[in-house]
Amino acid sequence: MAAIPLGLQQRDVIGIAETGSGKTAAFVLPMLSYISRLPPISEENEAEGPYAVVLAPTRELAQQIEKETVKFAHDLGIKVVSIVGGKSIEEQGFKIAQGCEVVIATPGRLIDCLQRRLAVLNQCNYVVLDEADTMIDKGLEDQVNEDEELDDKKIYRTTYMFSATMPPAVERLARNYLRNPVVVTIGSAGTTTDLITQNVVMISKESEKFEKLKRLLDEVLGDHKTAIVFANTKKNVNILAKSLSKNGYHHVITLHSDLQQSQRDSNLEGFKTKRYNVLVATDAAGRGIDVPDVAHVINYEMPPKIEKYTHRIGRTGRAGKTGLATTFLTMQDTGVFYDLKKMLIQSNSSVPPELARHEASKYKPGTIPDRPPRHN
């Protein structure tokens, strides 16, 4: 509601919003409105490339944006092509060459297509960066180049930047490349929706985790619902999935970057259709995975950054529904104690006494606490 009218005026927009709040529609609708006022892509102008580019950090998110965009674009006669890793680059280049108004891409694959001259962006004056903070972590800031010709021709690019968090690198990118942007903040930067109940369980021994995990899954699966279990590494995801299978959980599937794209797509589709009721994943599933009715997100391992925690638990409590997130916390996670405690307090969630008392939760990492003056 806040962002769409601004987009219709072709204002540059920075959108900071809690996960699951409808960011995709907020940039897709103004983008399609803009394109519908331009000449259709035809044999005369198809060689100049698309009118708009949407960049997303992961294949899954790019494909999900494509799916949502096509719902609106199809009846407008607007053609949408996604280009992501894991699929034939020649085939994707051929689709672009046939003409399309919108390209949805991961940054690496888009750069490959441009370098191989499989794609050009001569008439692209509408750019969307979805989950900008993650793409910056992956080196996007070094890859962005301003097109100086835009100013000479008095043609201005409309740029949308969306994210659930606003780290300094995103602010820097916005300052350099956006033109007098409007900042739309829904909730607080880096927070999650109030519909998610956050539980943090302090774990004293690593061996306690698996039994607690089984108890949590039994509750969810007993109600015929689904759960996502996050681990920090691909190795731990595979170990955890095998352990669950050996313990009688026969509808468990994995998602991480070592899987072939076809396998990732198949696994995700199986989870969405509830053929599988437990998804064990790395942060490859932390963003852009929109699965209806995920009842419980379980952080088997706490991520090292609070931004990743925010996105992980945002896989539940989406589109106005309630959700539950449980996180196992150990003394190996002290680097994130301060930020986690702050987030729990902001969301009116319970803070475990061990976390509240711990010295690491009282000061932001890298800062030196004030010490009382010495008395002679």
Q: Mind listing the pLDDT tens digit for each residue in 302-348?
A: 999 888 888 888 888 776 678 889 999 999 999 999 999 988 988 88
Task: Considering the chain, tell me which residue range(s) the CATH 3.40.50.300 domain(s) occupy.
Answer: 3-186, 196-361
Instruction: Sort strands 52-55 and 226-230 into parallel, antiparallel or unpaired.
Output: unpaired
Cβ atoms of 59 and 84 within 8 Å: the answer is yes
Q: Which CATH architecture is the domain 196-361 placed in? A: 3-Layer(aba) Sandwich (3.40)
Q: CA-to-CA distance for 264 and 284, rounded, in angstroms?
A: 10
| Encoded tokens for 32 | 């399609």
- pTM here is 0.64
The mean-pLDDT minimum among 51-65, 89-103, 165-179, 210-224 falls in 165-179
Architecture of domain 3-186: 3-Layer(aba) Sandwich (3.40)
169-178, 219-228, 367-376, range with the lowest pLDDT: 367-376
Burial 331-345 (b: 16+ CB within 10 A, else e): eebeebbbbbbebbe
Q: For the ranges 10-14, 15-19, 62-66, 345-349, which has the lowest average pLDDT? A: 15-19
pLDDT digits (tens, 9 = 90+) for 235-279: 999 999 999 999 999 899 999 888 887 888 899 889 988 899 999
